[in-house]
Amino acid sequence: MKIIVTGDGTHTLFVPELHEHYHSIFGALTESMHVFIEAGLRYHAAKKQITVFEIGFGTGLNALLSCIEALDAGTDLLYYTIENNPVDLEIIQKLNYSSVLKSNPCTPELFRLIHSSEWGKTINIHERFRLHKIRADIAQFIPDFSYDLIFFDAFAPEKQPELWTVEIFKKLYNAINEGGILTTYCVKGDVKRALKMAGFLIEKLPGPPGKREMLRGRKKGVGSRE
């Protein structure tokens, strides 16, 4: 596992065995903000209570940005995240997210709490953000909760094809609330087809730097004609 500086100055991790990065090399922070916060969390900006299910906890960057967003927007956020192979804390402590995100003075403590919180329990990180970390393989995991928003942030399909299947997306679709959405950086044809077969309505959006497009899937709301 190697720490890499991406195009916007923030860190990501490189996994030699997979020859894969955890984030875009064009900008880790920029990608997470664009795909998961702006296209995801802010889609539900009118809601005062939002439940998120993140596929791939990774470095915890998406959780940290969501935590800050909830605090700034006055939204109550319940954040579930699943990870089968957590990153070693010694590596996490070397990442520069806290020093880059200087707009919120609480960031270093929030990031520490997110990573030090116990797995398998719902933990109050602050008054607006509750975190529940699940250590499991999404392929075997059956959600026993419902959610408004899915952050699908697994490694790319060519690296982990078993996670980008109709079966996985159908399982997620069945537990998402009406009108809920899924956002992901990946726009591969096989992924689009799998999402559609699972029931999602697919929308292409402009991608972050280095990617022309990203995907957002939506579950039809009650009474929708779509």
Q: What is the pLDDT of residues 136-152, one digit of tens each?
A: 999 999 999 999 999 99
Residue 14: which H helix or E strand, with range?
strand 11-15
Nearest to 98 by CA among 126, 62, 64, 133: 64
- Residue 220: the pLDDT is 86
Alpha-helical segments (H) within 7-80:
28-32, 61-73
Question: How far is residue 46 CA from its own chain's centroid?
Answer: 20
pLDDT at 83: 97
Q: Where are the domains of the chain?
A: 27-218
Beta bridge partners of 12: 4
* pLDDT for residue 221: 66
User: pLDDT for 9-18, tens place per residue?
Assistant: 999 999 999 9
Quote the CA–CA distance of 78 and 95 in Å, as a whole number.
24
Strand partners for 20: 15
Q: Is the pLDDT of residue 223 over 60?
A: no
Dihedral angle over CA of 176, 49, 121, 141, nearest 10: 10
CB contact at 8 A, 160 and 145: no
How do residues 24-60 score in pLDDT, each as one tens digit? 999 999 999 999 999 999 999 899 999 999 999 999 9
What's the confidence (pLDDT) of residue 224?
43
> 95-120 burial, b if ≥16 CB within 10 A, otherwise e?
bebbeebeeeeebeebbebbbebeee
The per-residue pLDDT for range 160-182, each reduced to its tens digit, is 999 999 999 999 999 999 999 99
Contact residues for 58 (Cβ-Cβ < 8 A; gap 6+):
13, 22, 83, 87, 153
CB 21 within 8 A of CB 4: yes
| pLDDT > 90 in the chain, percent | 92
Quick one: pLDDT at residue 106? 81
Provide the whole-model pTM: 0.94
Whole-number Å distance between alpha carbons of 101 and 6: 15
Mean pLDDT (the chain) is 94
Indicate the class that CATH gives domain 27-218: alpha beta
The more confidently predicted of residues 104 and 169 is: 169
How many angstroms separate the CA atoms of 2 and 101, rounded?
21
How does pLDDT run across 50-101, given as a tens digit for each residue?
999 999 999 999 999 999 999 999 999 999 999 999 999 999 999 999 888 8
